[in-house]
Structure 1
Amino acid sequence: MSNRLPNPFDLVAKVLEVDRETLDDESSMGTHPNWDSLNQVAIVTAIEADYDIIIEDEDILKYSNMKAITQLFDELSAKAESAKG
C-alpha cells in the first residue's frame, strides 16, 4: 500500500468522469446519474487497485455510496499511519 491513499472523492469522480464537486457524502449508485451498476464495478476495481486491497464479490454493493467508501478510506489511512510508526 502506498504511503498516501487517493482521496475517495477524487477516485470516484475519476471513474465516473465527473467533477469532484458533483459528489457529496450522500452520493450513491441510486442518486448520482453517472453511477450505474457498470460504474459500480469500475469503482470497486479502482478502490482495489489504488488502495491495494481485495473486495470480495459479496461486498461489492457495500461500497455503493460515498459514505461507505470514505469510511473505508479512513480505516485504511489509519492502518497505514500506524504501520509507519
Structure 2
Amino acid sequence: MKITTGQIIEIIADVIQCNKNELDENSGIGTNAQWDSLRHVMIMAKLEELYGLKVSEDNIDLLMSVEAIKEYLNSMEL
C-alpha cells in the first residue's frame, strides 16, 4: 500500500490541530507553530496506532518532515 503526502498531512493536521492547508511535503517540526516536540511524539504514536508498527527512537529523530515520514512508511511493508 502506497501512502500519499495527502494521507500524512491529514494525520498530522489532526494530531497537531491545524488546517491541513497549512501543511505541505516540506512541513516539519518547527515549520508550523503547533508542530513542536511534544506533538511530534504524538504524531509518531498515531502512526504506530494506524499502521501497526513501532517507530524506534532513532527513527523518530529522523522523521522530522511530512516527506521523511511518507518515505519511511512507504519503505515499510505495511
TM-score of the pair, normalised by structure 2: 0.82
Q: Which moved more, 1:66-75 or 1:4-13?
A: 4-13
Kindly tell me: are residues 5 and 71 of structure 1, through their superposed partners in 2, closer, same or farther at Cα, counting changes over 3 Å?
closer
Who wins on radius of gyration, i.e. which is larger? Answer: 1
Structure 1 spans left out of the alignment, 5+ residues:
81-85
1:18 is paired with a residue of what secondary structure? coil
Q: Which amino acid aligns with 1:69?
A: I
Matched, 1:20 2:20: yes
Distance in 1 separating the partners of 2:46 and 2:3: 12
Task: State the 1:58 CA deviation.
Answer: 2.0
Judged with a 3 Å threshold, the aligned counterparts in structure 2 of structure 1 residues 45 and 22 are, in CA distance, closer, same or farther, namely same
Q: 1:59 to 1:73 in 2, by over 3 A?
A: closer
1:58 to 1:68, Cα distance in 2 relative to 1, 3 A: same
Unpaired runs of at least 5, structure 2: none
Flag as ranges the 4+ runs of structure 1 deviating above 3 A: 3-6
Matching residue of 1:72: 72
**RMSD between aligned residues:** 2.1
Q: What is the TM-score when the length of structure 1 is the normalising length? A: 0.76
DSSP 3-state at the match of 1:14: helix
How far apart, in 2, do the equivalents of 1:68 and 1:74 lie?
10
Identity %: 24
- Is the contact between residue 3 and residue 70 of structure 2 (CA under 8 Å) also seen in structure 1? no
How many residue pairs match? The answer is 76
